[in-house]
Amino acid sequence: MLSKIERGQLFPTLPTLVRIALVFGVDLAHFFSKERPRLAVTCKDERVRLPIPAGASCGSYMFESLNYPLPERRMEAFFAVFSEGGPASEPHQHGAEEIIYVLEGSLTVTVDEEVVTLAEGDSISFDSSVPHHYQREGKGDCTALVVTVD
């Protein structure tokens, strides 16, 4: 009977679907819901803001999560603001990979012992499991898109 249902030769009745659902341990809704792509929209005014370090009045930078509502995400995306007058971030390490794209201003990124200064439009990708830190350069704020992968 399952073979005929799969090939479109037989259309099951509701009692038949209930029995199939019980055998396979799924809800009856399984047969009626369309699988949707995983997506989440984060509007600008709904972003979760994370000062780094947490609770600092003038931290090294402010991260705004761009994809926090997406369940089981494999990457983290942030809009980062490195404020004028903010100190360099503490060296840290996490995950497997990180990419930074500078939208505005200038940012120095130190990865292990290598120091790279990025200008507007520049990007860097690196192994984020090694110690790294950031420092805003020049006048004004620096903004960047930061994506990390665990």
2 pLDDT above the threshold of 80: no
Higher pLDDT, 126 or 35: 126
107 lies in the same domain as 141: yes
3-state secondary structure of 15: helix
52 lies in the same domain as 118: yes
Please indicate, yes or no, if residue 94 is contained in any of the structural domains: yes
32 pLDDT above the threshold of 80: no
Please indicate, yes or no, if residue 37 is contained in any of the structural domains: no
What is the pLDDT at residue 52? 79
Please indicate, yes or no, if residue 36 is contained in any of the structural domains: no
135 lies in the same domain as 71: yes
Please indicate, yes or no, if residue 39 is contained in any of the structural domains: no
Lowest mean pLDDT among 28-32, 42-46, 59-63, 73-77: 28-32
35 pLDDT above the threshold of 70: no
37: confidence class by pLDDT, cuts 50, 70, 90: low
Strand locations in the chain, DSSP E?
48-52, 61-65, 75-82, 97-104, 106-111, 114-118, 123-126, 132-137, 142-149
Backbone angles phi, psi at 132, to 5 degrees: -150, 155
Q: Which domain holds residue 22?
A: 2-31
57 lies in the same domain as 106: yes
97 pLDDT above the threshold of 70: yes
User: Quick one: average pLDDT of 11-22?
Assistant: 83
Could you tell me which of 74, 97, 100 has the C-alpha nearest to residue 89?
A: 100
Please indicate, yes or no, if residue 80 is contained in any of the structural domains: yes
Count of structural domains within the chain: 2
18 lies in the same domain as 69: no
- Burial class from Cβ neighbours inside 10 Å (0-12, 13-18, 19+) for residue 50 reads middle
26 lies in the same domain as 59: no
23 lies in the same domain as 70: no
What is the pLDDT at residue 124? 98
Residue 118 sits in a domain whose CATH number is 2.60.120.10
Backbone angles phi, psi at 28, to 5 degrees: -60, -30
User: Quick one: average pLDDT of 9-22?
Assistant: 83
Lowest mean pLDDT among 39-43, 106-110, 123-127, 133-137: 39-43
CA distance 14 to 9: 16
70 lies in the same domain as 23: no
145 lies in the same domain as 100: yes
